Amino acid sequence: MSEVYGVRRNRLRERYAATGTAGALVSRPANVRYLAGGAPRGAVLLLGPAEDVLLCPREPTGDTREGRPDERLRLTVLPTASGDPAVAAADLARTAGGASLAVEEHHLTVSRHRAVRSVAPRMRLADLGLAVEQLRVVKDEEEIACLRIAAEITDQALGELLESILVGRTERHLALELERRLIDHGADGPAFPTSVATGPNSGRRGHHPTDRRVEEGDFLSVCVGADYRGYRCEIGRTFVIGTSPAQWQIELYDLVFAAQRAAREALAPGAACRDVDRAARQILDAAGHGEGLAPLTGHGVGLEIDEDPQLAPAAMGKLDACVPVTVEPGVHLPGRGGVRIDDTLVVRQEADGGPELLTITTKELLAL
Amino acid sequence: MSEVYGVRRNRLRERYAATGTAGALVSRPANVRYLAGGAPRGAVLLLGPAEDVLLCPREPTGDTREGRPDERLRLTVLPTASGDPAVAAADLARTAGGASLAVEEHHLTVSRHRAVRSVAPRMRLADLGLAVEQLRVVKDEEEIACLRIAAEITDQALGELLESILVGRTERHLALELERRLIDHGADGPAFPTSVATGPNSGRRGHHPTDRRVEEGDFLSVCVGADYRGYRCEIGRTFVIGTSPAQWQIELYDLVFAAQRAAREALAPGAACRDVDRAARQILDAAGHGEGLAPLTGHGVGLEIDEDPQLAPAAMGKLDACVPVTVEPGVHLPGRGGVRIDDTLVVRQEADGGPELLTITTKELLAL
C-alpha cells in the first residue's frame, strides 16, 4: 500500500511544478492523510524542494482514526509548544533553498499565512488551490475497498437496529445505538453525526436527533455511515412504524424512490453532474414538490463525507469512472414528515456493470 | 437573557471603534454564538456600521446545539447556494457605507478573505484579532450557571458508570456508554471526545479509546464532559480495578493528587497563570516525573473546551474572578499506565469562598 502515497505525491508534484513552484505545503487534514497515509492532528506535509517531510506536533499515537503515516516519508515530530507546524515547514523549505512554495489558501487562515510568510519573507508564496482535492475525486481500488467495507459495516448496523423494538424509543437513543453498532462492527467511528428523524421530523436532511419517541404510524428516516480507515460512506432509509402504511405514505415513498432510482440510473462516466441531479429533481418537481427541495441530490464521498463532485442544478463538470457519490433525494412535508432515500454508489463503465451500489440495505418500504 | 447579547456586542463595538473601524465581521462559530446567542452552522455576524445582522446560510432549526439567536438581532437567511455568508456580510457593510471592516484573520482563510475584499475593494479590512475571545474569558453568572449544569450532568454520568460492572468491557464501550448517559441527563452532547484509558493506556492525556478490555489491577482513567447550551466542562478521574491497589499505584495517585490540589489552591484572582502551573509541575518534577509532562496543567473552558487562559510554564497574564479553568495534571509511565485528575473550577475571590469546584465527583482513589 505504502508506494501508493508516493505515487500520489508525485502526481501532485507534477501539477505544481508545471506552475514553476519549487515546493508545496499541504495543511488540510484530509489532504495530508491522502498524501501521507495518515497524520496526527495538526500535522502538515511539506513536498520538496529537497525532500518530503511530514511535520507532526506530537508523536503518532497509532490511533486508527489518524491512519499510519507512510514509512517512506520522513516524519518529524516537533518539540512541544514549538508553534505552528506550517511555519516550521516553511522554515524548512527556506533552509532547503526553496524560492517558492504553494500553500492551501482555502485552508490556511490569514494569520497562519502571514506567519508562514514572515519566516520566509524572500520565498514566493503561491496558491496550491484545490489541486489535492481534485486528485482525490477519482478513487483507486484500495480506496474503494475501504468504502466497500465502510458500507458493509453500515448495512450491518442498520440491519440490526431494524430487528430491535423501535416504538417508544427516542431519536437520540436510536442514533447512539446505531453509532455503537458501527463501532462494534469495526468502524473507526461514525462518518458524520447520525441522523434519526421520526414523525413530523422524518425526511429532513441532516435532522439532529431529538427526544421525540417513535410512535405507531410514524415515518422513521435514518441517515448513518461508518468511517473505515478514514473513508466515509452514507446510507439513508425511511421506514413506516406499525402494520400498514397510510396511503399518503405509500405514494410519497414511491415518488422519492422513483426519483432516487432515476438519479442512480443516470450515473455514468461522462454524465453531467447537473443531469444526474435533474433526473431526480424533475420527478419530485413534476409531483409538486419543487419548493423546499435540498440544494443537492448527492455528493462525492471519500476521506471527507462531503467531497466533489456535487450533484446539483448549477454543478459544472462530468462524472468519471471510480468516483463514489451519494444519491439522496428526499421530500419533507412540514408538519407531516417525509421520505429520504440515500445510497453510496461508485460510478462505473457500462461494460463493468454500471454503477456499483455499496449500500445494499433494501429500499422496499418496510413496515416495522 | 436576550439583552446580555446586546451588551456583549456593545462591549466589542467599543473595542474596535477605538481603533477607528466602522464595523466588524465575526465568523468564528463560538464567537458568533457568544455575541448572537446562537447561530445555524456557517452563520456570520456583522456588527455595524448601520445595524447588527446575523447572516445565516439556512433557517435556524431550533436545534439546541445551535442555540437560539437573539430576537433583538436582525436575522437574514441567505438564499440557498448564495455562497459565503462572510462575503454577503461584507457586501452589506459596503452598501451601508462602511469605510472599514474588522475581520477575524485568525479564522478567515486566505481565500475567504480575498473574496471578502473583492466585493468591497474600497473598504479597508482590519484585523479584529482575538477581541471576542478576550471578552469571552471572564464569564457572567448565566454562563457559569450553564457550566454548573454541564458539570452536574457529567458527575451524574460518571457516577452511574462507576456503579456498573467494568471488568471485561472495552475502552470504546465505556466511552460510548458515558456519552449516552450524558445525553440521558440532558446534555446537548459530549463537550469533547470522551477518553477512557485502561492499564498501560491510563493517565495518557487525550487517549483515544481502543478495544482493550478492563482487567483486574488496572488503573482506569476517564476524561469526560458535557456540553450544555454550548458550555463545556471537563472532569478526569483515575480508579483502580479490583480489591486493593498496588503500592506503586497508591504512591503515584497520591503524588498526582497532591499536585492537582496544589494547583487548585493556587487559583485566585491576580494569580499568574504560570504560577498555578508551577504549583503542580514542581511537585511532579521533584518526584522525578518532569520529563514527559503535558505542556499545560489546565486551560479555560466555556463555549469551547480549550479557551484562554492557559496554565502553562510560558503563559503570560493573571487570572481574574469568574474565569472557569480546568486543573488536570497527570503522570503516565510508559508500559505501566498512570494517573490523571482533572476538575473544572471557577476562579473566585477569597471573600467569596475561593475557587468554586464544579466537578464534585470524589477524588479518593476508589477501587472498583
Which cell is B85 given? Answer: 455568508
Mean of the per-residue pLDDT values of chain B:
94
CB-closest option in A80, A109, A114 to B107: A109
Q: How far is B208 from chain A (nearest CA, A)?
A: 7
Amino acid B1: pLDDT: 54
ipTM value, please give it. 0.86
Report the residue of chain A nearest B185, measured CA to CA. Answer: A211
Q: Which residues of A touch B (CB under 8 A)?
A: 61, 63, 65, 80-81, 103, 105-111, 113-114, 127, 172-173, 176, 179-180, 183, 208, 295, 312, 314
DSSP string, B119-139: HSTTSEEEE-TTHHHHHHHSP
Q: How far is A114 from chain B (nearest CA, A)?
A: 10
Give Rg (Cα) of chain A.
23
Alpha-carbon torsion, ordered A256, A259, A261, A266, to 10 deg: -160
Q: What are phi and psi of B194, to 5 degrees?
A: -65, 135
Inter-chain CB pairs, A–B, below 8 Å:
59
User: Which residues in chain A touch residue B295, judged by CB atoms under 8 angstroms apart?
Assistant: 80-81
Do residues B202 and B221 touch, judged by C-beta distance below 8 A? yes
User: Which residues in chain B touch residue A227, judged by CB atoms under 8 angstroms apart?
Assistant: none
**Domain ranges within chain B, ordered by starting residue:** 2-136, 141-357
DSSP, res B219: E
Predicted TM-score of the model (pTM)? 0.89
Question: May I ask the CATH class of domain A141-357?
Answer: alpha beta
Do residues A116 and A93 touch, judged by C-beta distance below 8 A? no
Close Cβ partners of A225 (under 8 Å, ≥ 6 residues apart) = A150, A154, A190, A191, A192, A232, A233, A234, A235, A305, A344
pLDDT exceeds cutoff 70 at B208: yes
Q: How far is B320 from chain A (nearest CA, A)?
A: 24
Spatial separation of the C-alpha atoms in residues B182 and B222, rounded to whole Å:
14
pLDDT exceeds cutoff 90 at B40: no
- Show pLDDT as tens, one digit a residue, over chain A (368 residues): 568 999 999 999 999 888 888 899 999 999 999 999 998 889 999 998 778 999 998 877 767 778 889 988 999 998 876 789 999 999 999 998 889 999 999 999 999 999 999 999 999 999 999 999 999 999 999 999 999 999 999 999 999 999 998 999 999 999 989 998 999 899 999 999 999 999 999 999 989 899 899 999 999 999 999 999 999 999 999 999 988 899 999 999 999 999 999 999 999 999 999 999 999 999 999 999 988 899 999 999 999 999 999 999 999 999 999 999 999 999 999 999 999 999 999 999 999 999 999 999 999 999 98
Spatial separation of the C-alpha atoms in residues B98 and B120, rounded to whole Å:
10
Question: May I ask the CATH class of domain A2-136?
Answer: alpha beta
Amino acid A1: pLDDT: 54
Residue (of B258, B261, B274, B178) closest to B222 by Cα position: B178
Mutate to test the interface with B, among A59, A63, A110, A178 (most CBs of B within 10 A): A110
User: Which residues in chain B touch residue A65, judged by CB atoms under 8 angstroms apart?
Assistant: 208
pLDDT band at B50 (very low <50, low <70, confident <90, very high): confident
pLDDT exceeds cutoff 70 at B2: no
pLDDT in tens, B98-151: 899 999 999 999 999 999 999 999 999 999 999 999 999 999 999 999 999 999
Write the secondary structure of A262-277 as one string of H (helix), E (strand) and C (coil): HHHHCCCCCCEHHHHH
CB-closest option in B109, B207, B314 to A107: B109
pLDDT exceeds cutoff 80 at B331: yes
CB-closest option in B113, B183, B314 to A110: B113
Would the CB atoms of A109 and B109 count as touching at under 8 Å? yes
pLDDT in tens, B69-82: 998 899 999 887 67
Alpha carbon separation from B275 to B225, B298, B353 (Å, rounded): 26, 12, 20
Which cell is B120 given? Answer: 468591497
Amino acid A40: pLDDT: 85
